Structures are given as structure tokens and as C-alpha cells.
Structure 1
Amino acid sequence: MSGLRAGFRILGPLETFSDSAVHRPGGPKVRALLALLAVRANDIVEMDTLVEELWGDAPPPTAVSTVRTHVYHLRQELERALGPEAVRDLVVTGATGATGYSLRLQPGQLDLDAFTRLYEQGRAELRTGHREAALECLDAALGLWRGRTLADVAQGRVLAGHVARIDELRVRAQELRIEAAMGLGHHRELVPELRRLVATHPLNEWLHARLIDALHRSGRRGDALRAFHHVRAVLSEELGLEPSEDLRRLQHHILMGSPAA
């Protein structure tokens, strides 16, 4: 893109950005189209997939021509927002014999790409025991989020599947960050974040276990036991399950007054 900083953000509301401005694409179908092209950046998204995303099981007879019209309007909107030089060869048509479109991006033009690189780097640092470096990378990765993934985009089946995958990566990055921080002894500092996370992901037993452990290691045995009883009640009511071995082992350590292994 000839040195012009321009790109896309999907870790929150859908945005395009350039050196001078941030723009949110208008029109629900155009936003959904751009969102799907962005989550599959540099791949050809087949026409059938685009039609399924935009209309589900009830596409109109004019669906293919309407997709082409939406692509035309998307190209125009991107040109107005980013400038003609920035969008040259940005949304391209599939090769001869293929039907579909692709959003051609360079490294760093999509926030998801930046997140993934930082996440992988943080995971590698943690695997080799470099907790401080891992924490730095994972903090930077998670700092790219501005809200729910594609928060302002109506999602059909295809896009919802991609969003679920991205959200799973976010949860895993949060877990790795917690693992690194606990390894550095930041138990007290983690308690508020862990309370927020277990409220957001009430069936994630790993997060509950880390909250209980952090409370216990902070000298808050009573709070740790209350947290254990809370997750046991949630699992019983929601799933009809007993706590995992990890959680039961933590309860035992708390009752014995010994730190968890």
C-alpha cells in the first residue's frame, strides 16, 4: 500500500483505519460481507459461502447479483474512507473459473493478525520459562481488543463460527497470561481480573480453579472456600456435574492449610 498505513479492526466493532481517520462501514450487508472477507483475509471466499452468510437458508433469486452489488458498494466505500491508492487490489475477484472474492492484506493490516502473532510469541516464551516476556506479549495481544469480536455486525452461521474460533483464542490468551502472572507471584493482583473472567465464563473450571488458588495464596482461605462452593453450585445447576479433580484437589489443600502444588 505504498507506505500508507491502512487496515482493518475486527476485535471489537468493525473498523477501517488510515493515517488520518477511522471509519465504520455502513449498511448491515456490507458490514457482514467485509467482516467475512476480513476473518478469511487472503483466502478466496466462495460465492456460495457469501450467499449463505448473508441470507442463510432463504437466499433471494437475485442473491449472486446482489452480492456483486454489495462488493461494488464496499469497494466504493473503502476508496472514500482509505483513498484510491490504499485500496488498489484490496478486494479482488477470484481467479478465472472461481467465483468469490478475497481481501488482500499485508502483515499488520488486520488486528487479528497482530493478535495471533503476539499470542504465539507469548505462548512460546511461556513454554521456555520466560514468564515476564510471555506476560508482556500476552498483555499486548489482549490489549488489541476493543470489545466483543465484530460487536456491531449481524452474524450468520458462517461468520458466527469464525467469531467463536477467535473468541476461543482470546480465552486461551487470557489463560496463558494468568499462568504467567501466577508463576511470577502476582496472586493478589489477579483476583479482580479472575473474578471478572469467571463471571464472563461461568463454566470454565480452569478459571475458577485459578481464582480459588489466587485467593488461597493471598491468605484469603474463607474467600477461597466460598469460591469453591460457588463453582460447585454452578456446575451442579447448569450441567449436573461435580467439580473436576483440579478443583477438588484445591479444596483439599485449602482445608489442610497447605499451598496447592
Structure 2
Amino acid sequence: MMRIRILGPLSIHHGTVEMTPTAQKPRTLLALLLLHHGQVVPVSDMMDELWKGVPPKNARAALQIYVFHLRKALARGTGVPSAEVARTMLRTVQNGYRLAVEPAHFDLEIHHRLRRAGGSAMAAGDLRSAAMYFREALNLWHGPVMSDVEPGTRIRAEAAALEQSRMTMLDYRIELDLKLGLHRQILSELAVLTSQNRFHENVHAQYMIALYRSGYRIRALELFHKLRRDLLDEFGLEPSAKLKEFHQSVLTLDPALDDAEVVAPPPRPAADLPEIPALASSF
């Protein structure tokens, strides 16, 4: 079975055989096809991505050569004849190409399924299952999306959207850990996250609450003041009203902090999906 990763460096393997292109343009082409796995990617989109909107006169011929080499690599790695690869895996469809590898352990598809399952469980009040789904999804990440690919505008935009999805899941997962009383267990993680995300107010608020509940009230206040200084120095902005309310609650030892909520749950359950933690853990 093929193993495909894009949540970090791009890689595609079949058993011990690696099929990831080393040349940059075929690598970028494969990345674009994988981001649209199972969907037709128009030739015009591919050329725009590969040549940053300024394709040369021989762009279509060059693209066909890159597709040929991708098919050859897939055939070599899987042992499937090239003609069969062209018919079933990397197909020419209308004025575009469609990559569909089944069955495959594909981290992006597993990520989406776990994200939706976690949202459904969270909205339904099953906090432990939701936290497990989100944790499994986050564990699939091994760095920035396709960090070793030279992106064009499409890959860059979709990578940014995936990164936002990751940060939203992280917000939810930390919120769930706080609701489950795991504030002490996540202090070290939150210390790293606030250092890496200096202006992320949700993460700072969650760290303040975790510190307060763990008996570190002074550190919680210091955290707020450091964020305030950073915001003023960098942007001339004050922290949000919500963060100021949390700061005031820490100052006054407000018992409401024992049940405070930083990130609200999803408004309604997503579509029910099967449990798949075993798939995620196989990466």
C-alpha cells in the first residue's frame, strides 16, 4: 500500500521504494496533484503553478514530460505497468490530469477525516473522543506543509489554509484538555506554543488559565503583561477585551476561571465519520 505525506516534507512510498521526484518542477506538480487528490487539475492551473503565471512557449510539452516521468516513477515503485498507471492512477481527463491512488495511507485525507470526526464529537459533548481525534490529526504533522516544495500561488494558498486548520484544531484540543482537567499536563506544551506564537491570543489565554489553575497566578499575570508589551511594541495595539477580562479574573481570583472557556465548540455536529485512529498512528 502506498504511503503519502504532505503535512511536512513531501514523500510518497510503496513499501521501501521511494517515488518522490527530486527535480523541483515534477515535485511541485506532484504536490499540486496530491492537494487535489481524486480531482481533475486543469492544465492551465498546472502551468500557472509551475511557471509562476509566465509559462514558456514549450510549457505544455514540458508538462507532458513531467507527467510521463511521474507515471514512470509510480510504475517503477508499484510494479504496475506504465499503461495501467496512466489508465487508473494518473489519468488524462479532458484538459487536465487526475491523480487518484487507492488504497493509500494519505496523511492529508486522514487529517480531514479526523478533523471532521473531532468536530462532530466536540459539538456532541463527547470531549474525550474529540480530544483523541484532534490529537491524532495533529500528530500527522511533521513540519510546514510540503516544506521542501517550491510553491506557486495555488500551493501557497492551500498550504496556508491547511496551517489555519491545524491551528484551529490545536485551539480546540487545548480547550478540551482544559475542560478535562489536564491543565498541569499541558503547561510545558503551552510554554512552547506561546513562545512560537507570540501574538496568538487564544493560546496565551489558555496558558494563563492553565497556569492559574495550577497555582501559578503570578506567572499568569506576567504572561499577560509580556503579551501586552509585545503587541504595543509591534503593532501599537492593546490585547483584546476577552484577554483583558481573563487578566482581571486572575487578579481578583475570580472562581469563574475554574470553568472559563476560551474557544467555543463548533455550532453544530459535522457529518458522522468512522473512527480511524489506527490509520493515523500508522504514519
* TM-score using structure 1 length: 0.91
Match of 1:157 among 150, 153, 157: 153
Match of 1:144 among 136, 140, 152: 140
Matched, 1:186 2:144: no
Deviations 1:126-181 (A, max 9, x none): 11221111111111111111222101111111110110111111111111111111
Q: Which letter does structure 1 place at the counterpart of 2:237?
A: L
Greater relative contact order structure (CA < 8 Å, 6+ sep): 2
Counterparts of 1:134 and 1:187 in 2: how far apart (Å)? 17
SS at match of 2:167: helix
Equivalent residue for 1:234?
Answer: 230
Deviations 1:81-130 (A, max 9, x none): 232169461111123xxx11111134754210001101111111111221
- Give, in angstroms, the shift of residue 216 of structure 1: 1.1
Count of aligned pairs between the two proteins: 254
SS at match of 2:97: strand
Matched, 1:195 2:191: yes
CA spacing shift, 1:106–1:172, aligned 2, 3 Å: farther
SS at match of 2:116: helix
Matched, 1:89 2:88: yes
Matched, 1:36 2:35: no
For structure 1, which segment, 192-201 or 149-158, has the greater mean C-alpha deviation from structure 2 after superposition?
192-201
Equivalent residue for 2:276?
Answer: none
- Give, in angstroms, the shift of residue 23 of structure 1: 4.2
Q: Could you tell me whether the CA contact under 8 Å between 2:221 and 2:250 is conserved in 1?
A: yes
Deviations 1:177-226 (A, max 9, x none): 11111100111111221222223322221111111111111110111011
Q: Which letter does structure 2 place at the counterpart of 1:178?
A: I
Equivalent residue for 2:113?
Answer: 117
- The within-5 A match list for 1:246-261 is 246-259=242-255, 260=257, 261=260
SS at match of 2:4: strand
Q: Which letter does structure 2 place at the counterpart of 1:10?
A: I
Counterparts of 1:110 and 1:175 in 2: how far apart (Å)? 24
CA spacing shift, 1:160–1:201, aligned 2, 3 Å: same
SS at match of 1:84: coil
Percent of residue pairs bearing the same amino acid type: 34
Dislocated runs of 4+, deviation >6 Å = none
Q: Which letter does structure 1 place at the counterpart of 2:137?
A: A
Counterparts of 1:93 and 1:60 in 2: how far apart (Å)? 22
Q: Structure 1 stretches of 5 or more lacking a match? A: none
- Give, in angstroms, the shift of residue 252 of structure 1: 0.4
SS at match of 1:45: strand
Match of 1:56 among 48, 52, 68: 52
Counterparts of 2:161 and 2:126 in 1: how far apart (Å)? 27
SS at match of 2:202: helix
Matched, 1:26 2:25: no
Counterparts of 2:195 and 2:63 in 1: how far apart (Å)? 40
Q: Could you tell me whether the CA contact under 8 Å between 1:121 and 1:134 is conserved in 2?
A: yes
Matched, 1:68 2:53: no
Q: Which letter does structure 1 place at the counterpart of 2:134?
A: L
Q: Could you tell me whether the CA contact under 8 Å between 1:33 and 1:54 is conserved in 2?
A: yes
Counterparts of 1:54 and 1:108 in 2: how far apart (Å)? 26
